[in-house]
Amino acid sequence: MKRKEREALRALSVEELDSELVKRSKELFELEFHKALRQAKNPLRERFLRREKAAILTWLGQKRQNAGRVPADNGDVKPAIAAQ
């Protein structure tokens, strides 16, 4: 994945990342299916999709973890409940 593509994906919302994850999972399943039938056109695409999927899962986890946090006055991150 190129840097611009990676940054564009990283900027997506949680819902959009979820839909991208589903799209990548379906494509990966289809590639594995074609590989089993010995009809794979681009076997390196499977590795690429696995890595993209892992990156999306990482970003989703980070976004969900940071969703309940707000920055404090001194730059530290505190839970949203304590900040109120």
Q: Tens of pLDDT along 8-33?
A: 988 999 999 999 999 999 999 999 99
Phi and psi angles of residue 76, each rounded to the nearest 5 degrees, phi first:
-75, 160
Confidence band, pLDDT 50/70/90 cuts, at residue 6: confident
Q: Are 32 and 46 in contact (CB under 8 A)?
A: yes
User: At 44, which CATH number?
Assistant: 1.10.287
Report how many domains make up the chain.
1
Residue 21: give the domain boundaries.
3-83
Query: Would the pLDDT of 39 be above 80?
Result: yes
The 3-state DSSP class for residue 70 equals strand
The 3-state DSSP class for residue 79 equals strand
Confidence band, pLDDT 50/70/90 cuts, at residue 66: confident
Q: Which two tokens stand for residue 64?
A: 């969900």
